[in-house]
């Protein structure tokens, strides 16, 4: 199958890393289904990565999540050959990094990759400005230019005014911002972030996660983010790969991971996660039971309600823009008064949400209305409706019936 590298930035294929004096022993047929522990016991080799494959799209935040020892750090290091893998391919923009000469590898790392670590990796005797400019300095960018770019990055991460301080004069959260600014200043396409927020206090950590999300909305880098914290993964990841004993046991969107865990292991991880924080309106909305256009009269409305088996109706204007709701009582009254058109009528207002809203955000809305919540796009066009029941179960009525 041909791959489209206009959109795929990283393509990891069947990657293995075996630590030990004779890694090839592991590839004998008889160990094909042996566990990592068995292999270690019998062969004395540690399988840190076992046949790992995944793709990361450009501009995506791809999270690799797993407990200590699952192989996350080994994996990110293998991506840029800080560790040499045993077998497999790592393609960046379609080129296999594992075949690069050492010169090409150095060039590739400098141009394309920026890293952010848990232990910030800052130079203690350099001021913030020079720490942030460091990546550009080793690329040979002249001083004015690199300071200019560094200042912009410092501002982006909210450290304006701290340019001439030393890292040791700043808090953990601020030092992590310096690390992030350094990665941004380098203006590389890919950010590799290895547990960047793990050393921070919970409050600061949440703040940094929020900032990363809003930053990413504007910078749109390709981010590979390592964490052992499922909530962090669910919060920031577009896609999440869950690792166990060197293997990816599931890869999917946050919603898929929570609602369709692939096995008992993932299930045990996600059981404490609140579904309301990861399930979005788009997943639980359903086709509106009934809609009518505002120039159609009340009789058409009543007919639509009966055929949709509902006692409320969304009224749409031109281009399906939502105008409001009409109840059966109202429509009946209008029909008796022989009103010909719904145009210009005072309709009941309806709660609207965009398709990305989480159940968590929809519940307070549902408390304020008896009507279904309308899911609309940016132009106000009706995309679907969410019923109260769907908020409780996290499934649309249609899905429940199916
Ligand atoms: N240099 C090495 N030599 C031998 N075994 C190693 C080496 N580096 C890592 N390992 C082993 O490989 C496995 C994966 O380790 P890795 O550090 O990638 O896991 P991790 O998920 O990043 O864990 P942590 O969150 O604790 O860093 C572990 O069993 C580890 O002991």
List, in order, residues 6 or more apart from 303 with CB less than 8 Å away. Answer: none
In Å, what is the CA distance from 381 to each residue of 9, 313, 318, 322? 34, 15, 9, 6
Instruction: Specify if 383 maps to a domain.
Output: yes
Instruction: Specify if 345 maps to a domain.
Output: yes
Domain boundary, last residue among 247, 275, 303? 275
Buried b (16+ CB within 10 A) or exposed e, 134-152: bbbeeeebeeeebbebbbe
Check whether residue 241 and residue 329 sit in a common domain.
no
Give the position, in ligand 1's atom list, of the atom nearest the Cα of 70.
Answer: 21
In Å, what is the CA distance from 265 to each residue of 74, 183, 245, 257, 268? 21, 34, 11, 11, 5
CB 10 within 8 A of CB 92: yes
- Output the CA 13–ligand 1 centroid distance in Å: 20
Give the position, in ligand 1's atom list, of the atom nearest the Cα of 46.
Answer: 5
What's the confidence (pLDDT) of residue 402?
A: 42
Give the position, in ligand 1's atom list, of the atom nearest the Cα of 20.
Answer: 4
**Distance separating alpha carbons of residues 236 and 255, to the nearest angstrom:** 12
Which residue has the CA at smallest separation from atom 25 of ligand 1?
A: 68
Instruction: Specify if 3 maps to a domain.
Output: no
Check whether residue 294 and residue 259 sit in a common domain.
no
What's the confidence (pLDDT) of residue 1?
A: 52
* Regions of the chain short of the pLDDT cut 70: 1-5, 120, 394-402
What's the confidence (pLDDT) of residue 400?
A: 47
- Output the CA 243–ligand 1 centroid distance in Å: 12
- Output the CA 68–ligand 1 centroid distance in Å: 8
Which residue has the CA at smallest separation from atom 3 of ligand 1?
A: 19
Check whether residue 148 and residue 250 sit in a common domain.
yes
**Distance separating alpha carbons of residues 48 and 204, to the nearest angstrom:** 32
CATH number of 380's domain? 3.10.580.10
Ligand 1 pocket list (CB less than 6 A): 19, 46, 48, 66, 68-74, 228
**Distance separating alpha carbons of residues 258 and 240, to the nearest angstrom:** 11
Instruction: Specify if 219 maps to a domain.
Output: yes
Structural domain span for residue 103:
8-275
Check whether residue 254 and residue 303 sit in a common domain.
no
Instruction: Specify if 1 maps to a domain.
Output: no
What's the confidence (pLDDT) of residue 3?
A: 65
Instruction: Specify if 97 maps to a domain.
Output: yes
Which residue has the CA at smallest separation from atom 1 of ligand 1?
A: 19
Probe target for ligand 1 pocket from 71, 226, 243, with the most ligand atoms within 8 Å of CB: 71
- Output the CA 114–ligand 1 centroid distance in Å: 22
Give the position, in ligand 1's atom list, of the atom nearest the Cα of 228.
Answer: 25
Give the position, in ligand 1's atom list, of the atom nearest the Cα of 17.
Answer: 12
**Distance separating alpha carbons of residues 381 and 368, to the nearest angstrom:** 22
Burial class of 4 by CB neighbour count within 10 A (0 to 12, 13 to 18, 19+): exposed
pTM (two decimals): 0.77
Domain boundary, last residue among 254, 275, 296? 275
Domain boundary, last residue among 255, 275, 295? 275
Check whether residue 142 and residue 248 sit in a common domain.
yes
Check whether residue 331 and residue 224 sit in a common domain.
no
Q: How does pLDDT run across 116-131, given as a tens digit for each residue? A: 877 767 888 899 999 9
Instruction: Specify if 129 maps to a domain.
Output: yes
Check whether residue 308 and residue 263 sit in a common domain.
no
Which residue has the CA at smallest separation from atom 28 of ligand 1?
A: 69
Nearest to 348 by CA among 311, 379, 320, 384: 311
Instruction: Specify if 72 maps to a domain.
Output: yes
What's the confidence (pLDDT) of residue 311?
A: 84
Check whether residue 254 and residue 330 sit in a common domain.
no
Check whether residue 290 and residue 271 sit in a common domain.
no
Check whether residue 202 and residue 340 sit in a common domain.
no
What's the confidence (pLDDT) of residue 120?
A: 65
Number of compact structural domains in the chain: 2
Check whether residue 292 and residue 211 sit in a common domain.
no
CB 56 within 8 A of CB 92: no
Check whether residue 255 and residue 319 sit in a common domain.
no
CB atoms within 10 A of CB 317: 16
Nearest to 52 by CA among 86, 81, 92: 86
Phi, psi of 275 (to 5 degrees): -60, -25
Give the position, in ligand 1's atom list, of the atom nearest the Cα of 246.
Answer: 14
In Å, what is the CA distance from 69 to each residue of 55, 72, 74, 227, 244? 22, 8, 9, 12, 8
CATH number of 153's domain? 3.40.50.300
Probe target for ligand 1 pocket from 21, 46, 245, with the most ligand atoms within 8 Å of CB: 46
User: Taking the CA of residue 155 as centre, how many other CA atoms within 13 Å lie in the half-sphere pointing to its CB?
Assistant: 6
């Amino acid at each position: 199958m041909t791959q489209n590298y206009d959109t795929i930035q990283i393509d990891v294929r069947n990657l293995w890393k075996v630590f030990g004096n004779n890694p090839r022993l592991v590839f004998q047929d008889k160990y094909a289904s042996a566990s990592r522990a068995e292999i270690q016991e019998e062969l004395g080799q540690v399988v840190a990565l076992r046949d790992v494959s995944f793709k990361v799209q450009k501009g995506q935040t791809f999270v690799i999540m797993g407990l200590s020892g699952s192989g996350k750090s080994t994996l990110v290091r293998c991506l840029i050959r800080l560790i040499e893998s045993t077998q497999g391919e790592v393609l960046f923009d379609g080129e296999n990094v594992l075949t690069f000469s050492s010169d090409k590898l150095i060039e590739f790392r400098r141009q394309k990759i920026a890293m952010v670590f848990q232990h910030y990796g800052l130079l203690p005797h350099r001021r913030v400005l020079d720490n942030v400019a460091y990546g550009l300095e080793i690329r040979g960018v002249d001083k004015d230019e690199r300071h200019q770019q560094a200042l912009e990055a410092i501002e982006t991460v909210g450290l304006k005014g701290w340019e001439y301080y030393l890292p040791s004069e700043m808090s953990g959260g601020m030092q992590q911002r310096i690390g992030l600014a350094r990665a941004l200043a380098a203006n590389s396409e890919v950010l590799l972030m290895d547990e960047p927020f793990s050393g921070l206090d919970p409050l600061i950590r949440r703040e940094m996660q929020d900032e990363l999300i809003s930053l990413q909305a504007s910078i749109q880098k390709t981010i590979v983010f390592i964490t052992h914290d499922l909530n962090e993964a669910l919060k920031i990841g577009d896609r999440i790969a869950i690792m166990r004993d060197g293997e990816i046991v599931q890869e999917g969107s946050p919603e898929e991971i929570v609602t369709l865990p692939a096995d008992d292991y993932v299930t045990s991880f996600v059981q404490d996660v609140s579904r309301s924080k990861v399930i979005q309106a788009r997943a639980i909305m359903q086709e509106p039971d009934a809609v009518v256009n505002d120039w159609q009269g009340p009789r058409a409305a009543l007919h639509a309600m009966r055929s949709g088996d509902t006692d409320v109706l969304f009224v749409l204007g031109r281009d399906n823009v939502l105008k409001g709701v009409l109840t059966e009582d109202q429509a009946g009254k209008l029909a008796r008064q022989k009103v010909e058109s719904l145009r210009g009528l005072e309709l009941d207002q309806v709660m609207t949400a965009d398709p990305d809203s989480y159940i968590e955000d929809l519940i307070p809305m549902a408390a304020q209305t008896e009507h279904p919540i309308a899911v609309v796009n940016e132009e106000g066009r009706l995309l679907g409706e969410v019923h109260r029941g769907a908020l409780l179960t996290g499934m649309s009525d249609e899905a429940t019936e199916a």
